[in-house]
Amino acid sequence: MNAPDGPMRVIALWRYPVKSLQGESIGTAEVTRLGFAGDRQYALFDVATGFGLTARRVPQLLFASARVRTDDSVEITLPDGSVAVDDDALSTWLGRQVTLRAADSSSTPRRYENVADFEHEPSSSWESFDGSAGAFHDSAGACVSLLSQTTIEGWASRRFRANVLLERGPEDALVGSRVQIGSACLDVGMHITRCVMVTRPQPGGIDRDLDVLRRIHRGRNSCLAVGATVHQPGTVRVGDALQPGGHESSRSLS
C-alpha cells in the first residue's frame, strides 16, 4: 500500500444493530472476527416471502432506530417515539408480518432484494442476492466498512452507513492491504458497490436524492467506501490513526 501523506484519522465510529435501521454513533468499538460488536446482529424478515428486509425495498426502515442495551439485546424505537416490544408491534408499523431475527440464532437463508433499475423503480424488476453468514452484512468481504469525509464531498455520511469514518482519504488506495486501527488489524479487500439505498430519505433532513447514485455510477465506477475483514480483533477509538499493517493481504474478498 502506498500510504497517503499524513495520518488517516478516525473521526466517527458507527454500528447498526438492526440491518437498515438507524444506528449508534460510538466513541469506542470492540472489533470481533465478524466486525464491530453489536453491528448488524439483527435483521427483520418478511414472513410471507422469506426475504430479509432492507431500505432498498422498504425505505421506511430508515426512520426507526436501534441501539444495543447493556445486556446485548436490542431496543428498537419506531418513528413515533415508541419502543417496539415484539414482532406484532413491528408488523403493525410496517403493514406486513415480519419477524426480528438474531444473527447468532438464525439458520434461515439470508436472501435480500435490490431494484434492477433505480431510475424507474416503480416499474423496475427486483433482483435477489445472498448475504453473508454470521452478522447480517450484504457481503462477507465487508465486515467492517471504511469511508473518508473527503470522499463524500459534503454528502451526509449517514447515507453510506460506514462503520469507520476517516477524516481524509484516499481509502480506495487501501484495497489489497492490511491496516491497523487502534489494536485491530483489518484486511481491506474490496470496493463497495452502491445501490438505491444511498438515495433514500432519512431523518434529520436527508432527502430522497437520485443524483447521489448517478454521480457515484458516473464518477466512481459505482463504488464508494471500502470493505474489510478482520485479521486481528481489537479496540478502535475515535481519534485513532490508521496505519499500514506491514503485510499484504493474501485473501480474495470479491
Report the CATH number at residue 81: 2.40.33.20
**Is 78 within 8 Å of 85 (Cβ atoms)?**
no
pLDDT band at 31 (very low <50, low <70, confident <90, very high): very high
- For 85, the grid coordinates are 416490544
Which amino acid makes up residue 178?
Answer: R
In a domain, 214, yes or no: yes
Given a cut of 50, whether residue 178 has pLDDT beyond it is: yes
Q: In whole angstroms, give the CA distance from residue 183 to residue 191.
A: 23
Question: Grid coordinates standing for 208?
Answer: 430522497
The answer to whether residue 253 scores a pLDDT higher than 70 is no
Query: How many H-runs (helices) and E-runs (strands) does the chain carry?
Result: 3, 17
Domain that holds residue 194: 8-248
Assigned domain for 2 exists: no
- Reduced to 3 states, what is the DSSP secondary structure of residue 2? coil
Q: What's the predicted TM-score (pTM) here?
A: 0.92
Number of domains in the chain: 1
Q: Indicate whether 109 pLDDT > 70.
A: yes
Q: Please check whether residue 90 is in contact with residue 44, taking contact to mean a CB–CB distance below 8 angstroms.
A: yes
Does the pLDDT at position 3 exceed 90? no
Looking at the domain assignment, is residue 253 inside a domain?
no
pLDDT of residue 152: 95
Residue 180 within a domain: yes
In a domain? residue 3: no
90 inside domain = yes
Q: How does residue 246 score in pLDDT terms, banded at 50, 70 and 90?
A: very low
